[in-house]
Amino acid sequence: MLEIKCPYCGNRSQNEFAYGGDATVKRPELNSMISDQEWDEFVYYRKNPRGNHLELWHHVSGCRQWFKVFRNTATHEIIQTMEMKENP
């Protein structure tokens, strides 16, 4: 079980959190012309990297904030956690 540092609450065990996927995915702007390709990339396609990955986590059983976790998917090392407005 991972230990994740919520930027608002501090170190907590993984069972307090929900995983939220790739944090680098950007939702296309509302009311913009979006090609099928772009939309498919946004809705369906995700990379599955072995190594460092910037991802979203949600502190569901805590402060209910979404935040970013920079994590190595192979070793589970968490390099950094940060608020949504920050970047590694």
Partner 1 sequence: MHQEFRTSSGGFIDRSKEISFIFNGKKYYGHRGDTLASALLANGIHLIGRSFKYHRPRGIFAAGVEDANGKVQLYKDNITEPNVNVTEVELVEGLRIESQNCWPSVGFDIGGINNFFSRFFPAGFYYKTFMWPKSFWYYVYEPFIRKAAGMGKAPLDPDPDRYEHQYEHCDILVVGSGPSGIASALSAAKNGARVILAEDKSRFGGSLLTDNVTIGNKNGDEWVEDSIAELESMPNVTVRKRSQVFGYYDHNMLVMFERCKDHLKNPAPYTPRQRLWYIRAKHVIISTGSIERPLIFANNDRPGIMLANSAREYLKVYGVLPGKNPIVFTNNDTAYETAIEFKAKGINTTILDTRKSSNAGVVQEAKNLGIEIKFNHGIANTSGYKKVNSATIGELNNTKDGYKNLQTLPCDSIFVSGNWTPTVHLASQSGNKLKYEVETDTFLPHQSRQKETVIGSANGSFTLKESLADGFKKGFQISDEITKNSKELSVPISDEKDFRLHDKFWCMPLPNNKNYKRFVDFQNDVAVSDIQLAVREGFRSIEHVKRYTTLGMATDQGKTSNLNGLQLVSDLEKKIVPEVGHTTFRPPYTSVTIGTLIGREVGKNYQATRKSPMHEWHEKNNAVFVDAGLWLRPRYYNRGEETLDEASKREALNVRQNVGICDVSSLGKIDIKGKNSAEFLNRVYTNAFLKLPIGKARYGVMLREDGMVFDDGTTTRISENHFHMTTTTAQATNVLSHLEYYLQVVWPELDVNVVSTTEQWAGMAIAGPNSRALLKKLFPHDDVSNEGLPFMGFKEFKFKNITARVFRISFSGELAFEVNVMSDYGEEMWNEIMVLGEDLGIQPYGTEALSTLRIEMGHVAGSEIDGRTIAYDLSLEGMLSQKKDFIGKRSLTRKAFAEKDREKIVGVVPLDKKTSIPEGSYLVENAKASFPNPKLGHVSASCWSVEYDNPFSLAIIKDGKNRKGEKLFAVSPLKNIVIPVVIISQHYVDPEGKRVRS
Task: Name the site residues for partner 1 (rule: CB under 8 A).
Answer: 1-3, 13, 18, 20, 27-28, 30-31, 34, 39, 42-44, 56, 58, 60, 64-66, 75-76, 78, 84-85
Pick between residue 16 and residue 41 the one whose CB is nearest to Zn ion: 16
Residues of span 3-42 touching Zn ion by CB under 5 A: 6, 8-9
d(CA 34, CA 42): 10
Residue 71, class by beta-carbon neighbours within 10 Å (0-12 exposed, 13-18 middle, 19+ buried)? buried
Binding partner selected for residue 63 from partner 1, Zn ion, none, CB under the kind-specific 5 to 8 Å limit: Zn ion
Question: CB of 1: closest distance to partner 1 in angstroms?
Answer: 5
As a whole number of angstroms, the distance between CA 36 and CA 59 comes to 33
Smallest gap from Cβ 17 to Zn ion, in A, equals: 9
d(CA 8, CA 64): 10
